[in-house]
Structure formats: structure tokens, C-alpha cells
Amino acid sequence: MTSLKRSHATITPTTTLSSKTYLRTLKSGKVQKIVRELYLRQDIPCSSQLCTVCLEQQASGYHQKAAPFVLSATPAATKQFPQGHYLIPDTNAFLNGMDLFEAEGAFTDVIVLQTVLEEVKNRSLPLYHRLIALTKNDGKRFYVFFNDFRLETYVQREAGETINDRNDRAIRKATAWYNEHLQQAASARKSVRCPAVVMISDDRDNIRKGKAENVTAFPLRDYVSQLPEADKLLDMIPERSSTRDGKAELFYPEYMSMSAMLTGVKAGTLHQGIFNVSTYNYLEGSVHVPAFDRQLIIQGRENSNRAVSGDVVVVEVLPKDQWKAPSSKVIEEDEVNKNENADNEDESEGIVTEQERRALQEEVKKTHASGLENQPRPTARVVGVIKRNWRQYVGHIDRDSVRGGSKNGQAQQTVFLIPMDKRVPKIRVRTRQAADLLGKRVLVAVDSWGRDSRYPVGHFVRSLGELETKGAETEALLLEWDVQYRPFPKTVLDCLPAEGHDWKVPASKEDPGWRGRRDLRDLIICSIDPPGCVDIDDALHAKKLPNGNFEVGVHIADVSNFVRPNNAMDKEASLRGTTVYLVDKRIDMLPMLLGTDLCSLKPYVERFAFSVIWELDQDANIVSADYTKSVIRSREAFSYQAAQLRIDDDSQQDELTQGMRRLMMLSKKLRGKRMAAGALNLASPEVRVEAESETSDPIDVKTKELLDTNQLVEEFMLLANISVASKINDAFPQTALLRRHAAPPKTNFEELSNQLKVKKGMELRTDSSKALADSLDTCAEPANPFFNTLVRILATRCMMSAEYFCAGTLSYPEFRHYGLASEIYTHFTSPIRRYADLEVHRQLAAAIDYEPLDASLQSRSKLEGVCRNINFRHRNAQQAGRASVEFYVGQALKGRVLEEDGFVMRIFSNGFVVFVPRFGIEGLIRLKDLAGSERDEVDGVFDQAEYKLEFDAVGKGKRTVELFQKVRVKIEDELEGSTGKRKIKLGLV
């Protein structure tokens, strides 16, 4: 027999071998034992610019490029470390204080140990990504030191040692090694200044052991308090939950364990879904779960059990006798709990305050009384949270929660932050700068929500500026909707053509830029856009062919020529997803140079374009379609209005105008065909803010008007999108990037169709988009032309939202675009402002064999990621745009009192919502204000079946308000005393 014994000899002189074994529990409950090799080495540099030894022995990658050394030779000094210092934070320091590490100006020269990086990744992926981003930020000088691969700093886990203890030991060992190593380096250079190496840890035991081993160590808080801007920085450290006094009572039931929840969901006894809070009633939330047609209602704080709007939760359905109808009442948090004290929880009675209880009590009474009319719906309670959807929230400090005596003091106190998003509860924040932060927009992060706290606990991140100033409010809404608004980094700008604004279409056709391009410069092309548009995506032409048909071309800016896949600019654009239009500002997806100059199809100059050219017959049927990269020269850039005038002016008979008339004629035929197929004509309350040109202060609000030329452009864009969609779907059936609009489930329309039936005797048929389009047309009142628009607005709200998707993920019938009544659809026509279009351009270019398709566009999983992101960005951009209009409308109305017509959109038992078309605003009118009463709540006689509310108005006797009724309202703005915030207020005249 030969034995298989082997020697543990080293393989090369610089490496030794160790191995690491650990157990891993899978989601399925299986346990895996994992054995990994570990090659320990001595050529991992310390990356300090002080050190020459490491620089010499540094190994490089395949491309012979060695990483530059990161840590400064003269790091920042503090009182305690006049010679400068490097930081080695432990895992908890990063988990708790990531905002601190990201703060400008502080925390430079930080060594991130591999041990720590791994632990951070285990605990929180988002934080891990933020940390990685920090290591790539040149100014911050963060260096990742692979201590577990370096022979001197490697620590073997000892028998009986917990993994945490082992990791702490590894951190101490690395700190000690750095200390020693730097001293050697400094003495080799004969330098006097040898930076100290400071370990940051909140673990007392770790610090104590560190002291024993001669390692300088501080808790995060102590370290920060030595820094120059300590006050501001200290606020950014989250509150440790353990620091609250121990006896605190527990308000909320405990969450179930993750495994119990997952088993429950699998077995069907529990349900998983996304928690949504009603905008009108902060105590009522809903969860949509697949097992129920209708949403489950979650009423009250106890049942919602610390879930915040957007969290993925697991709920348990309550017994049938607790089922309720959805609330018919408006409850706003700042009204009910106005006088709570942020500091002490003990005085209050528990999780539900007396006022809240009263408000809910009446709810229950009502549902029992109303009987069959209003069927009770299933209710549920939250038993656990699968995934928190906490982000950073913008809000303002509640003035009443700031302690009177210390309004100008620096003492630390706890205050409430009232988030801009009404669905998010108040956040308890500890700060020393309460006085400074009053009346400011403040960004906070939520840290935790323990069972012993009625409100979530968060920490201050930064202040955006005074409330109501344009800068602060704009930044606030950009942050609130997660819009990337920072200037483009240098790496992105480096991807721009070197010629800058002087870039021109190459004169010689031999130039590689001309390869595969058709010369369309002699076509009479023009563009039609909103007034003042600088990023011109599209241009059109129409020509009569000898056979009586028309040649129509849609020419789209060739952005994919400038933005190559996977470079820094492409990455940034894919992250931004879309250009965001605010009232006074545009946050571009691509740098200005491209968006408004090189790509923009400006008139009189030659530009690269991607053209779709059809032959259409007299009835606008497509005879053939052709796709090509091209070079065009637009003859003119019209605004919608100017184009309309030119078309209508009979004295103009030049080729350009004729072309536009042909386009107009064809577009009307296209539109007719589309409508016949069942395309929906929907409405949303759109207004435009007129601003003074110099100061951009808003002066007036106008509703947007629609001209025939708007529809002209729209029709051809739709046609191009549809043609391109089927082309790329044929070429790439697995990975084509398309857009769909799902048919809304029937239940979505139930409420509206019932309202129309009861109030107006009208019928809304929803079996198909065609039926809906037709029945929407019949919902009109000759006496009240706006009524039809109102119904369309309400119907739009019942729809699903359209979304991007990857062709391979769904079957063909599901591609349908419900609103446009088209089998297939994509976005192709606005590559300057939408990333989806850019990707579609690349796919189309590959489909016509212009260039090979990039790998990223061939992988379905990658495209699905792109779709997820652009769907999210698209939604947010819309919301941000709307919020911006809302803010400016508010500013335009500042200090004015107006009377306008409004329509009742929704009725509650203690108030009703009025929509004012003139300003596109929706506002709540509370009975309490109408009654002029000081009491908390006023209830009218509310007939839920008839959508009618009767009440006493002060000085005017009895009044009745019904759904869809036209009312005259007074609009004024009001300064809220407690918050210092301006609000638009509506009153009934």
C-alpha cells in the first residue's frame, strides 16, 4: 500500500497556505460546510505614501498597472494626534456611522480592513455598496487592506472563540501591525512625523483588550467629539437603542421570526405584500396580497406594528368579525397628535393616544351601522417585516417639540421631524442644533424602530436650507424622489468628444463616422417641439412619391453614436434613467454638451440621426418600413404654435409647409385608426407655471393647451415606437427592451363605476380598452364640459402604470399596451432624455447589422435590472415634476385670495376633497373649518351610499355637498403656526 500522505510545504517563498472552514445555513434550512483555501502573502502593501518598502515589493496586475498608494503621508491632525492619524474603524462604526464617514471634510485616511468589509457586507448590502463607493472616491482616501491575506496580520480562529471575537482580534492585530510598520517606515525616512493609527470601536471589551495590547482605540462618539465640527457631526451618529432607560414599556407586539414568517407564507396562513399608507388617513394602511382580490386593510398603529409605507411586510388576516369598511374619514397626524412631547414617552398612555382611539372608535361604530351598503373588507395585522424600505427622509422640525428654554441653547434634546411624505410617521431625532434647524428643510435617516418607541428613531444627516426657499425646496424634492442631481463627475465628462462644441459631422464620407450611414441631407426635414426646447430629439419629413404614396421619415437624435455601452457616461445615464423636468430646472440624463448641442437635432446644421422611413399609402397604411443611421440637416425648428400657424396660413406654399400639411393629414388618419382600435384618451390635471424671465419667480398658472401639431408629432412618434418595437422583438425575441401597459383589473374601476351610476346614472364599461374609451365618451354633461375631463382624470387613477420590460420575461399577449391599444410598444424617440430609448437604439442598430450588440444588451438578467431601475426612475421623475409644479403653484398663490370653481372628487364623513382645474390642485376642506368650531371633530350627516354629506356651515345654515358637484371655493394660503410651513387652504364659498 502506498500512503497518500503529503507534506505541507510552502509552494513559493512568499506565500503560505491556510484554510478556512465555515458553516452556512441556506434559505431552505440546509446547512453547508464550506472549505476554502487561503494563500497568505507578504506583498500586500500598506498603501501609505510614507512607506517605501511596500512600494518596492508591490505586485501588479496583468496590465502591469500598480495601484497608486492612497493614504496621505501627512494625514489630518487633531488635538490628540498632532502628528496626524489613520483610522481603522470596526464593523459597527461603519454600520452606525456611515453618514459620518461620507461627510465632507472629516474622516479622511481611513483603512478599511477586509475583515470589516466582509462583515459589513454580511450585515447590510446597501451599506457595503456605499463603503465601496467611498473607497473609490479619491478625495476621501479610503484604502481596503486585505489583512486576512497578509501573513503578519492573519488570525486563525481558535477553538471555542466566537467569530466576532476572532474578527475583533484580527482588527486589533492589523492596527498593531500598521502601527509598527509605519514606525519603521517613518524611521527609514528619518521623518519625525509618524502618524498614529487609531482603532474606532464601540465595543468596550474590544477597546479594553486593545489598550492592553497597546493599540490606540476610541469609541466613535468620543473620537468625533475631538473633531473641530463636533456638534454637527455628533448629530449624525445614530442613537444606540440600548441607551434608552431600561424600564421603558413596550408598545408594540414582537415580530415573528423570519423562518416562522416564511413557513406561514408558504403554508398560506400568512401573506406577504408591500405596505401602503393612505394619504388621507395616516392610521390606515393597505396591503395587496395575491390571495385576495381586494386589498387588505390595516387599521391603527397597533396592527400596522411599526411598518412604514413601502416596507415589505407579512400580515395575518384578522377574524371575520373584525372586518371593516375602509375609512370614510380624514385623519391627519399633525392634527391628532399635535401636542405630543418628543422627549418623554412615559407620560403618554401607550401606543395609541386617547385622541387616536376616539377617532378609530367612531370608525367601528359607523361600519356596524351602515350594514350591507358598504361591505366590510378583510382586515389584517402586520406580524413582521421582511424588508425595510427606509430611505433618507426630508422634513422639517416640529416647532412644538423643541424645548422652550433651550431654543437657542446647544443642549442635546430630542425633537420630532415631520416628513414631507405624509404617509411616513414622525421621526424622533436627537440633536444639539434644534434651534438652528427650526424652519429649515432637514434630511434625516431612520435607524430603528424598537418596540418601546411609538415613533421611529433617526439621526440628522444635513440641513438643506430655509423652508420655502427655492434652493432648499427643489433639493428637498429631488432627494425625496431620489433624483441624482449632482454635477457629472470628471470620468463622465472625459467620455465626451474632445472637440466639444466644435464637433461637426465629418466632411469626408471616408471618415469612419459615415460608415453605414445614409446621406439624407437633401431631405426637407423640420422639428416641432414645445417653445424653448433645446434638447431636440426628433425631426420629421414627408415627401410625395411618384406612385401617389408618401414617404414619411422620423429622424431621432443618434445618441448611441456618442454614448458607448458601459463607459462611465453610459453608466451614469443608466443610473439616472431619465431627464427630470422641474418647473425652473432640468436635471439632465446626459451632459449638456450632448443633450443640447451635439445630439440635439438643431436646425441649419448637420447632425447624425437614426431614421425610420416608411412608405405610407393615402390612408396612412404602412407599405414598407426602413431603418437606417443617417446624416440630416433640419431646415427649421418650430414650436407647436408656430408650426400650427404656418400650416394654417394658406399663403405659404413652399415645400416645407407642404410637407407639414401632408404630415398633418396623415397624422389625423393615423389617430382615427388608433381611436377606432380602442386607444384611450386620458387626462391628467396638467398646468404650466408662468415665470418671470429674470428671477424665475412664478407669476401665473396656466393649464396646458393642446394643438393639432402636438398630436401630429405624437402620432408619428407612436408609429415609430411601434414599428421599432416589432423590429427589435423580431431580432431579439429574448432581450428586446419593450414597454407595456397592463389591463387594469376590474376591481380598480368598481368604485368609480358605482359612483357614476349612483350620482349620474352613467355606466362605465371596462371589459376592454375599446369599451372603456367609448363609455368614457358618453360620460359627459353638456352643461358642464369639465365633467368629462374629471371622469377621465379619475379613470386614469384607476389604471396600472406602464412599464418597461424585457421581451423574454413575458409571453407575447402580455406585451399589449392597454392605453395605446397596440400589441407591442417601446420607447425609441427620446434617447436624449430617456435611457430606455438609448438601449433600444443600440438594439435596433444591431438588428439592422450596423454594429454588433454589446454583451450587456444580450443578457436578460442585466436588462431586467436596467428595466427595474428605469421604471423606478421614470415614476420618480414624474412625481418630482408634479411636486415641483405643486410647489410653484403654491408660490404663485402666495399672499393672494382667489375664488375659483372646483369639483368634489371624494367625500369623507368629516370633510371632502375638491379639485380646482384652474390650478390643478386638489385640496381637503374639513367640516371643522367650515363650522368655525374649536372642537376637535365635527361630523356631518354622511350618506355613504349616496356619496352625500350634510352639515351646518357657520352663518349659512344647512348645506349639502355631493360627489362630482361643482362648487365655488376660496383659495388662500395659510402659515401653519406649529411648523412655520405654508399650506394652500381651500374654503367653501
Partner 1 sequence: MPLDTSTYILAHLRLDGRRWNELRRLQAQMSTQAAADGSSYFEMGNTKIICTVAGPQEQKSGGGGRSQQDKAKIEVEVNFAGFSGMDRKKRARSDKRTSEMQHTIASAFESTLLTHLFPHSTITLNLHILSQDGSLLAACLNAATLALVDAGIPMTDYISATTVATTASYADKEEEADPLLDLNGLEEQELPFLTIASSGGEDRVCSLVLETKVHMARLEPMISVGLDGCSQIRGILDGVIRAHGRKVLEGKVG
Is residue 410 a contact residue for partner 1 (CB under 8 A)? no
Q: Which is nearer to partner 1, 24 or 935 (CB)?
A: 24
Is residue 159 a contact residue for partner 1 (CB under 8 A)? no
Residue among 278, 358, 293 nearest 326 (CA) = 278
858-897 footprint of partner 1 as x/- string (CB under 8 A): xx--------------------------------------
Is residue 27 a contact residue for partner 1 (CB under 8 A)? no
Give the Cα separation of 630 and 988 in Å (integer): 59
Is residue 117 a contact residue for partner 1 (CB under 8 A)? yes
Q: Are 539 and 555 in contact (CB under 8 A)?
A: yes
Residue 395 amino acid letter: G
Quote the least distance from Cβ 136 to partner 1, whole Å.
9
Is residue 212 a contact residue for partner 1 (CB under 8 A)? no
Instruction: Please select the residue that binds partner 1; options are 131, 144, 701, 844, rule is CB under 8 A.
Output: 144
Is residue 79 a contact residue for partner 1 (CB under 8 A)? no
Is residue 114 a contact residue for partner 1 (CB under 8 A)? yes
Q: Find where cell 434617447 sits.
A: 831
What is the tally of helices (H) and strands (E) in the chain? 26, 37
Is residue 177 a contact residue for partner 1 (CB under 8 A)? no
Instruction: Please select the residue that binds partner 1; options are 571, 688, 860, 918, rule is CB under 8 A.
Output: 571
Instruction: Please select the residue that binds partner 1; options are 27, 65, 79, 320, rule is CB under 8 A.
Output: 65
Q: Find where cell 464617514 sits.
A: 101
Quote the least distance from Cβ 282 to partner 1, whole Å.
38
For residue 270, CA distances in Å to 259, 265, 267, 316, 777 come to: 12, 5, 8, 5, 43
Is residue 604 a contact residue for partner 1 (CB under 8 A)? no
Which own/partner pairs from 936-940 qualify as long-range (CB within 8 Å, at least 24 positions apart)?
Answer: 936/355, 937/358, 937/359, 937/910, 938/910, 939/362, 939/909, 939/910, 940/909, 940/910
Quote the least distance from Cβ 117 to partner 1, whole Å.
7
Cell triple for residue 302? 397597533
Instruction: Please select the residue that binds partner 1; options are 81, 146, 177, 850, rule is CB under 8 A.
Output: 146
Stretch that binds partner 1, among 39-47, 296-304, 822-830, 840-848 (CB under 8 A): 39-47
Burial track 122-133 (b if 16+ CB lie within 10 A, e otherwise): eeeeebbebbee
Q: Are 779 and 799 in contact (CB under 8 A)?
A: no
Q: Which is nearer to partner 1, 154 or 223 (CB)?
A: 154
Is residue 653 a contact residue for partner 1 (CB under 8 A)? no
Stretch that binds partner 1, among 460-468, 598-606, 707-715, 850-858 (CB under 8 A): 850-858
Instruction: Please select the residue that binds partner 1; options are 13, 61, 139, 487, rule is CB under 8 A.
Output: 61
3-state secondary structure of 25: strand
Residue among 561, 559, 631, 630 nearest 590 (CA) = 559
Residue among 429, 393, 424, 395 nearest 413 (CA) = 429
Quote the least distance from Cβ 171 to partner 1, whole Å.
16
Q: How far is CA 288 from the centre of its chain?
A: 21
Instruction: Please select the residue that binds partner 1; options are 63, 320, 490, 896, rule is CB under 8 A.
Output: 63
Is residue 403 a contact residue for partner 1 (CB under 8 A)? no
Q: Which is nearer to partner 1, 59 or 411 (CB)?
A: 59
Is residue 59 a contact residue for partner 1 (CB under 8 A)? yes
**Pairing assessment for the beta strands 110-113 and 142-145 based on DSSP bridges:** parallel
DSSP string of 798-823, one letter each residue? HSPPPEEEEGGGS-GGGG-BTTTTBS
The DSSP H or E segment spanning 188 is helix 163-188
Instruction: Please select the residue that binds partner 1; options are 83, 124, 135, 748, rule is CB under 8 A.
Output: 135
Give the Cα separation of 27 and 24 in Å (integer): 10
Instruction: Please select the residue that binds partner 1; options are 30, 190, 204, 896, rule is CB under 8 A.
Output: 30
Stretch that binds partner 1, among 198-206, 537-545, 676-684, 855-863 (CB under 8 A): 855-863
Is residue 23 a contact residue for partner 1 (CB under 8 A)? no
Is residue 53 a contact residue for partner 1 (CB under 8 A)? no
Is residue 121 a contact residue for partner 1 (CB under 8 A)? yes
**Pairing assessment for the beta strands 622-639 and 525-529 based on DSSP bridges:** parallel
Is residue 566 a contact residue for partner 1 (CB under 8 A)? yes
Q: Are 728 and 826 in contact (CB under 8 A)?
A: yes
Is residue 345 a contact residue for partner 1 (CB under 8 A)? no
Q: Are 521 and 634 in contact (CB under 8 A)?
A: no
Is residue 39 a contact residue for partner 1 (CB under 8 A)? yes
Stretch that binds partner 1, among 146-154, 455-463, 477-485, 805-813 (CB under 8 A): 146-154
Is residue 567 a contact residue for partner 1 (CB under 8 A)? yes
Q: Are 614 and 552 in contact (CB under 8 A)?
A: yes
Quote the least distance from Cβ 12 to partner 1, whole Å.
8
Instruction: Please select the residue that binds partner 1; options are 49, 102, 118, 865, rule is CB under 8 A.
Output: 118
Give the Cα separation of 896 and 917 in Å (integer): 17
The footprint of partner 1 (CB under 8 A) covers 1-2, 4, 6, 11-12, 15, 17, 30, 32-41, 44, 59-63, 65, 67, 114, 117-118, 121-122, 135, 144, 146, 148-149, 566-568, 571, 855-856, 858-859
